[in-house]
Structure 1
Amino acid sequence: MDTSTQNADTATAGSNSSRRQLAIAGTALILLTGVIHLALAPEHLEETTYLGVLFVANFAAAAVAAYGIYQDRDWGWWLGAIVAAVAIVAYIANGTVGLPMTESEGLLEPAGIVTKVIEFLFLGVAAMWMGKN
């Protein structure tokens, strides 16, 4: 094997390893945000039923996205990005102008802040993954 072939094989192996690391990080981050939403769902179901249902739906969509990302499917990343972006927008809307039939908790609710940090981290990892494609 000549040097150029060996270098190309090494670059490909490094690229595959990097993609796999991004996939593992993306899977963990989007699944974590879904699990947090699922854990908070009962509280929201009691206060405002539709919001609790949305929290459960967030978990379901995040779990499907995590599966897709882990299986190295483009749709998983896109679904995860949509889930994270919608959750961020909804959190900001609820904390500022409020959502129908809910009491605004403000933007400094601790579980919300942690979840938004995780969602922004996911979006960063997703952007890195998309840059590698």
Structure 2
Amino acid sequence: MSSRPVGASLRGAAAACALISAVAHLLIVPEHLKEVPYMGMLFVVGSIALLLAAAGLARRNPVPAWLLGTLVSGGMVLGFALSRTVGLPDYKEDGWDPPYGMLSIVTEVGFIVAFAAWCRAGMMRTPPTSVSRPAASVRAR
């Protein structure tokens, strides 16, 4: 299988993960803004970043989108784990917060796995530039 279809499939899967995670977080923003405003704002910022990453994966050079999406997804997974173990300032949750908690974790980990697979497939390399021959040859004297 050619690397182009693999890269396109991985970008599509990652974009879907980013969109689902963004929507899941946007749905719970209002309640978090009331209870713990900074968490609500972090969800808004994270969702916007994931939407930008999803859109960026369609570009010719998706590397910045991959990096943004992986950074945000990793941060959201870390925040989820911390909020359920040691807690965050004024914020500690119990359980998986169904259905959004489980959905978010699955999609964020899915994005990170897709990025790792994309890197492993060698998609991170930039294609070589075409080399053209000079119009006139130069002879050494």
TM-score (norm 2): 0.80
Structure with greater Cα Rg: 2
Structure with more of its chain in helix, by fraction? 1
TM-score by length of 1: 0.85
Superimposed CA distance per residue, residues 4-39 of structure 1 (whole angstroms, 9 cap, x where no aligned partner): xxxxxxx6xx22111111111111111210111111
Counterpart mapping for 1:65-104 below 5 A: 65-72=53-60, 73-102=62-91, 104=92
Aligned partner of 1:4 in structure 2 is none
**Counterpart-to-counterpart distance in 2, 1:106 and 1:71:** 39
Q: Which of the numbers 104, 108, 113 marks the counterpart of 1:124?
A: 113
- Fraction of identical pairs, as percent: 32
* Bigger RCO (CA 8 Å, 6+ sep): 2
CA contact (8 A) 1:96 1:107 kept: no
1:74 offset after TM fit, Å? 0.3
Q: Distance in 2 between matches of 1:107 and 1:114?
A: 13
RMSD: 1.2
Structure 1 residue runs of 4+, over 2 Å off? none
Gaps of 5+ in 2: 124-141
Give unmatched runs, 5+ long, in structure 1.
1-10
Alignment check: 8 A CA contact 1:107 1:113 kept:
no
